[in-house]
Amino acid sequence: MEFSMIKEILAREPKYRLVQVNQAIFSDLAESWDEVTALPKKLRETLQAECPLEINAELSLSDDKDTAKALIRLADGKFIETVLMRHEDGRNTVCVSCMVGCPMKCAFCATGEMGLLRKLTADEIITQVLFFSRFLKKENARVGSVVFMGMGEPFLNYDNVMQAVRILNNPECFGIGARHISISTCGIFDGIRKLTTEDIAVNLAISLHAPNDEVRRKIMPVAEGYTIAELLTVIDEYIAKTRRKVMFEYLLIDGVNDTDEMARELATILKHKLCVVNLIQYNDTGAFVASSHNRMNRFKEILEKAKIEVTMRYRFGRDIKGACGQLATGRN
């Protein structure tokens, strides 16, 4: 869907048409211009011919219905995946992709195996949220939060990601509060620094996954270029400037990063930081084995004893390969 093209067409129309079109796309969630009867027929026909509202996607639902994954076909024939997570308390979160594939090659991630095919435009990013907004409308529900944790590294597509964030946040579009939008990075310093200069207070998450450089370099090639100490200095600057809590994501992999000693090491490096650690169980991509529940609980206990705030991420959508680290498509 090409929102920029829609704006170009509307530039030839009276100003109130944009209000009508925003209402149709983002509030009424129209799936075809034929439904938008507030517009003159000729304009509808032009819009239908040049920027149709239809989204070409295949949907898979997990057995427990808590997770839905959409395989979206882009205009150039490439495919991306996007995931809807339905929480017990009724909240709905969409995990969006920002690239077709990813160049970062983290060893535990199926997307990384694809390499980078291309970056997504802002339009392609918000199309993913629009798809699930339409899906939820049928149940009178809405998308409450968006996380940039799907395919790709957001800070290597900074401008398009931030453009999408503004559309998500705009009250005339999705109206999703900045505090309900999270960007996750594997640790791109420029992006973290740039985010402190933005006037929109989104959440920052860091894919850490290791308590020391030796372990991190084994599973995340990005860590070859800098040390965790340097990364934490950049995070300290971020916290000092924004006063916002940072989330550290930590995927627990059996025998790789989940020992008691590593939990203590992690607690030491994160001590006194305004942060929360999100422990995630490894999801099968073939390369490693997931830590057991006992191990995860023990790791959590050690962090909590050291007064580190911890959450444990629910496992969403493993049966449809929609869980963390599992997004990949062989269709490209």
CA 161 to chain centre: 10
- Going by their DSSP bridges, the two strands 79-86 and 67-73 should be labelled as antiparallel
Candidate ranges 73-81, 98-106, 169-177, 304-312; the one touching ligand SF4 (CB under 6 A) = 98-106
Q: Binding residue for ligand SF4 (CB under 6 A) from 72, 95, 109, 143?
A: 109
Check: CB of residue 81 under 8 Å from CB of residue 320: no
| 3 state SS of 90 | coil
Percent of the chain as helix, strand, coil, to the nearest 5: 40, 20, 40
Note whether 326 binds ligand SF4 by CB under 6 A.
Answer: no
**Shortest Å distance, C-beta 190 to ligand SF4:** 15
Contact string 123-162 vs ligand SF4 (x = CB under 6 A): ----------------------------xxx---------
Distance between CA 211 and CA 250 in Å, rounded?
9
Q: Binding residue for ligand SF4 (CB under 6 A) from 3, 82, 112, 157?
A: 112
Candidate ranges 24-32, 33-41, 107-115, 126-134; the one touching ligand SF4 (CB under 6 A) = 107-115
Residue closer to ligand SF4 by CB (options 95, 266) is 95
**Shortest Å distance, C-beta 211 to ligand SF4:** 18
**Shortest Å distance, C-beta 69 to ligand SF4:** 15
**Shortest Å distance, C-beta 325 to ligand SF4:** 6
Give the contacts of 38 (CB within 8 A, at least 6 positions apart): 20, 23, 24
Residue closer to ligand SF4 by CB (options 162, 280) is 280
Distance between CA 214 and CA 223 in Å, rounded?
9
Burial class (CB in 10 A: 0-12, 13-18, 19+), 49: exposed
From the list 127, 118, 121, 134, the residue with the least C-alpha distance to 52 is 127
Beta strands in the chain (DSSP E): 57-61, 67-73, 79-86, 92-95, 99-101, 116-119, 145-148, 181-185, 203-207, 246-252, 275-281, 309-312
Note whether 102 binds ligand SF4 by CB under 6 A.
Answer: yes
Tally of CB atoms within 10 A around 253: 22
DSSP 8-state symbol, 173: T
Contact string 260-299 vs ligand SF4 (x = CB under 6 A): ----------------------------------------
Positions marked active-site: 81, 324
Distance between CA 161 and CA 29 in Å, rounded?
22
Q: Following DSSP, what letter does each residue of 188-213 receive, concatenated?
A: -HHHHHHHTT-SS--EEEEE---SSH
Q: Can you read off the two tokens belonging to residue 26?
A: 């983002």
Residue closer to ligand SF4 by CB (options 202, 220) is 220
Q: Which of residues 206-225 bind ligand SF4 (CB under 6 A)?
A: 207
**Shortest Å distance, C-beta 150 to ligand SF4:** 7
Candidate ranges 59-67, 109-117, 270-278, 308-316; the one touching ligand SF4 (CB under 6 A) = 109-117
How many residues does the structure list for the chain?
A: 332
- Residues binding ligand SF4: what is the number (CB under 6 A)? 12
**Shortest Å distance, C-beta 203 to ligand SF4:** 16
Note whether 192 binds ligand SF4 by CB under 6 A.
Answer: no
**Shortest Å distance, C-beta 111 to ligand SF4:** 4
Q: Binding residue for ligand SF4 (CB under 6 A) from 146, 186, 266, 323?
A: 186
Note whether 98 binds ligand SF4 by CB under 6 A.
Answer: no
Residue closer to ligand SF4 by CB (options 106, 320) is 106
Note whether 111 binds ligand SF4 by CB under 6 A.
Answer: yes
Q: Which residue ranges make up the site for ligand SF4 (CB under 6 A)?
A: 102, 104-106, 109, 111-112, 151-153, 186, 207
